[in-house]
Each structure stands twice: as structure tokens, then as C-alpha cells.
Amino acid sequence: MEYYTWVLTFHVVAFMSWMAMLFYLPRLFVYHVENIEKKEFVEVVKIQEYKIYKYIGAPAMWATIFSGATMLALNPILLDFTQNPWMLAKLLSLALLIIYSLSLEKYRKDLENNTCKKSGKFFRMYNEMPTMLSILIVGYVITKSFSILFTAIIVILFAYISYVIMKPKKAK
């Protein structure tokens, strides 16, 4: 256990780096699709998208997963979900965050190949997902509890935000 706090420190820094990519890459996608006619601009954005995913996001994701698994190996009682139901909720949220992260690579490749049909509005809405999942994860970890009310409030709040972003604008 003497190494646990060092692994935890590395885990938190890796998670912060991963989240930075998860927050920024969809914003680059918005700029990309909304400025598709500006070829020189799009070429620069493609380079940024590639570098932030390949050099920051993917390594940080794997560092987060590896350090988290190491912490679980050092403290396996956390995997007793009868005593720690929050850990199950955290791991399920983490699984969704990993799927989200991998989906960003798919969209990045589609944008790189000029085959993406998603709108800037879609990517604005999609950009809300890592915020919701990170709030859930941090909430579970800090409180060391699983609250259905907390989870429902966060999910409903972000569903509403997504609805507001995606709803068609009224004609004037």
C-alpha cells in the first residue's frame, strides 16, 4: 500500500489529461464541420484533431485504465460491490466514457476522410457527454456512495441540455 497514493496521483493526472481531450476534441469537430468550405482551416484542424487524440487522449485513457486497475489490484476490497456499490457505478460510467472516447476516434477518422455527415449542432450536444460522465464518476468517488437521486438528476439535467442544443430554432 505504500505505492497506492503515488498510483492514485498518477491516476488523477492521467484522468485530467484524458478529460482535456474529451472536452476539446468535439469542439474541434464543431469548428471542422462548420467551416468545411475553408480548406486550409480544415487541414489545420485535422492535424490538431489527430494530435490531441493520438498524443494526448489515447495515451491518457490507457494510463487512466492501467493506473485504475493497479489501484484495484492493490486494494481489491473495492471490488466487493456489496460494500462498495459506488465502485460498480463508477466502473459502468467509466465503460461509457471509454466507449465515448473510442467513438471520437471513429468521428475523427470520418472527418479526416471527409465522410462524416454529423452537424456542428450534433457535436455541440455530443460534447456534453464527458461532462455528465465525469460528474457522475467524481461524485461516486468523493462520496463513496451510489445515489439513484444524484444519478437521475445529473442524467435528466444533461438530457435537457442535449434537447435544448438539438431542438430546431424557431423561425423569426
Binding residues: 11, 90
58 in Cβ contact with 25 (< 8 Å)? no
Phi-psi region of 114 (alpha: psi -120 to 50; beta: other; left: phi over 0): left
Phi, psi of 84 (to 5 degrees): -130, 65
**DSSP 3-state assignment of 65?**
helix
Instruction: Pick out the residues of the known binding site for heme.
Output: 11, 90
26 in Cβ contact with 116 (< 8 Å)? no
**DSSP 3-state assignment of 82?**
coil
